[in-house]
Amino acid sequence: MKKIAIFGTSADPPTIAHQSILKWLGKNFDLVAVYASNNPFKEHFTNLTQRSEMLKLLIEDLGQANHNIQLCQEISDRRSLNTIHKAREKWGFSAEFYLVIGSDLISQIQNWYCIEELLKKVIIVIMPRPDFPIKTETIKLLEKLGGNYQIAQVNLPAVSSTKYRNEKDKNTLTESVKNYLEKNYIYE
């Protein structure tokens, strides 16, 4: 059975942490479908097209390591359940789908659209973010909702899109994303 990781991210902008996630996913899944998404619980500072273009650059920066990582913007939806429906139509119902989320989103998950239905269709892969430790109570909440999950065994850099926007530390970005931001006067 094909294991497909579905990784939607705000990517506002995508950082080296996003790239680390993609590298890990690429080694652990048959296919990684990544896309820029509009999280209904967040404010976005650039439009979906710009974020998708930056994700494409981030994937290209991986070089040969990205053979099974695809930008799949066509499955993007504000609601994860709709994204999974699109993914199942695209790759079939016999694949096993894994929905990738950051540890910062576990506490929000109970408020997601039709969460119980979504959790029946996917296994949640939790990416441990250094600034958002995984708490026992949030894991218990996920279990109470009926979610199957796994916690990725990966050490991510302690950077984030928010931190980049606030501090403008260009070491948190790949060269091509930096160049894209400068060329398009984004976040200035």
The pLDDT value recorded for residue 174 is 94
109 located within any domain: yes
Q: Check which CATH number belongs to the domain holding 161 and give it.
A: 3.40.50.620
Flag residues of the chain having pLDDT under 70: 65
12-59: per-residue pLDDT in tens? Answer: 999 999 999 999 999 999 999 999 998 877 888 999 999 999 999 999
Task: Read off the amino acid at residue 146.
Answer: G
Q: How many domains does the chain have?
A: 1
Q: Would residue 146 count as lying in a domain?
A: yes
CA pair distance 188, 174, nearest whole angstrom = 18
Q: What range defines the domain where residue 178 resides?
A: 3-183
Residue 188 lies in a domain: no
pLDDT at position 156, please?
95
What is the structure's pLDDT at 65?
A: 65
| Residue 59 belongs to some domain of the structure | yes
